[in-house]
Amino acid sequence: MALDLDIDRIRRLVGEGVRDKVYPGAVWAVGDRSNMVIGTPGVLDPDRPDEPMRHDTVFDVGGLTEILAVWPVVGALVEDGKLHLDEQLGDFWSEVRGHPLGRVTARHLLTHTTGVPPLTDLGDLYGTRPRDIRDGVLREAVRRPPGEAVEHTDRAALVLGFLAEEVSGQGLDALAATRVWQPLGMTRTCYGPLPGEAAARCAPTGLDDVTGTRLRGTAHGRPARLLGGVCGSCGAFSALPDLAAFLRHVLQPGHDGGRPGFGPAWTRESLRIRTGDDPTSAGGLFWRPAPGTDPGTDDIWVPHGPAGAGAWLSPKQGRWAVLLTNELYYAGDPGPLGHIRDAFRSVAFA
């Protein structure tokens, strides 16, 4: 059965972002468990105007790393019985024992109620050595007691990435690949830096603050670059077909035959309000109701973050949507992209 969707309106909306130089190009899709509609307006790189966007263009997905890597890996460890959401980290993790994070739980991190400060430039705070950055993040003071308030911070995903490595004895990149991406057939999803041929198919982002050259296949997020390409808050690369496989699994686990480490129990645990009824702070585990929607009636969820990250899903409608752009190419005001994303979501789930 075809999707009931105003495709022309979405095409106009996303195309206006190309016309107004919000981004050079975009790849969008709206789908359910078996159908999908795709659009690819614009170009990969304004310096190569004859090369259009394609449905399999690889993007630096930035904050979506939290949902593609950290959230499912933590879910796999929980379902394996290796991690308990309400156990204080200091009870089993020697690196944080005796420090403020020792009183925090994995649930606090997943609901952004840890009380830790927002993520600022790690290099300015802790230097550029990965060991010093890890020590600094894990020993940082908290601003308020855990559980007192919802405050989104990229540190939550960063700490959870370190925690997953501690509990499993594996690197986050290996964990995500073996427990999530490979079982779902997500062959284009990985951490960077990408090798030459793969980087050539990647949408470029901003300028490297050291070399002044355009980043392509190397993460734009500085935490990932400082930590060798792999961290919980950013650094992953992916493409639309892989995101479609992932979101379809979240909506209907096992439908396409893939069996990653997380299943329906983790999705149900995550897509429930865990932080009160205030619409400005209500959220689940690394997901929250899409801004401007009612979680009880609309049931549309977006990754927890200031502006979302270009992916949405609705268990009630059995529908998902993705909008991938390389807006960092122009490094402009983020406001127009936020408006486009909100309007895209509104049409996709109308």
Please write the tens of the pLDDT for every residue from 264-318. 999 999 999 999 777 778 899 999 999 889 888 999 999 986 554 699 999 999 9
- What pLDDT, on the 0 to 100 scale, is given for residue 256? 66
Contact 62, 323 (CB under 8 A): no
- What pLDDT, on the 0 to 100 scale, is given for residue 279? 73
pLDDT over 90 for what percent of the chain? 82
CA angle 181, 133, 118 (to 5 degrees): 80
Helix (H, G, I), strand (E, B) or coil at 136: helix
The DSSP output letter for 52 is: B
User: d(Cα 329, Cα 336) in Å, to the nearest integer?
Assistant: 14
Average of per-residue pLDDT across 234-239: 96
User: d(Cα 305, Cα 307) in Å, to the nearest integer?
Assistant: 6
* Cα dist from 100 to 70, 146, 171, 290, 294, whole Å: 22, 9, 24, 31, 35
Position 1 pLDDT exceeds 90: no
- Position of tokens 């790189």? 45
Average of per-residue pLDDT across 163-189: 97
Select from 5, 34, 18 the least CA-distant residue to 244.
34
181-224 residue pLDDT tens: 999 999 999 999 999 889 998 999 999 888 889 999 999 999 99
- What pLDDT, on the 0 to 100 scale, is given for residue 308? 46
Contact 58, 45 (CB under 8 A): no
How many Cα atoms within 13 Å fall on the side-chain side of residue 283? 24
Average of per-residue pLDDT across 178-182: 97
CA-based torsion, 247, 248, 251, 257: positive or negative: negative
112-153 residue pLDDT tens: 999 998 877 899 999 999 999 999 999 999 989 999 999 989
Position 332 pLDDT exceeds 80: no
Quote the distance between the C-alpha of residue 89 and its chain's center: 23
Select from 28, 41, 72 the least CA-distant residue to 239.
28
* DSSP secondary structure string for all residues of 265-306: HHHHHHSS--S-S-TTT---SSEEEPTT--TTTT--EEESSS
60's enclosing H/E stretch is strand 59-60
- What pLDDT, on the 0 to 100 scale, is given for residue 278? 77
- Mean pLDDT, the chain, rounded, equals 93
User: d(Cα 68, Cα 162) in Å, to the nearest integer?
Assistant: 16
How would you write 78-95 as a 3-class SS string? HHCCCCCCCCEHHHCCCC
64-91 residue pLDDT tens: 999 999 999 999 999 999 999 999 999 9
- What pLDDT, on the 0 to 100 scale, is given for residue 287? 96
Select from 271, 347, 334 the least CA-distant residue to 304.
271
How would you write 216-276 as a 3-class SS string? CCCCCCHHHHHCCCCCCCCCEEECHHHHHHHHHHHHCCCCCCCCCCCCHHHHHHHCCCCCC
**CB < 8 Å & 24+ apart, contacts of 216-221:** 217/58, 217/192, 217/193, 218/192, 218/193, 218/194, 219/60, 219/192, 219/193, 220/60, 220/62, 220/328, 221/60, 221/62, 221/65
pTM of the model as a whole: 0.95
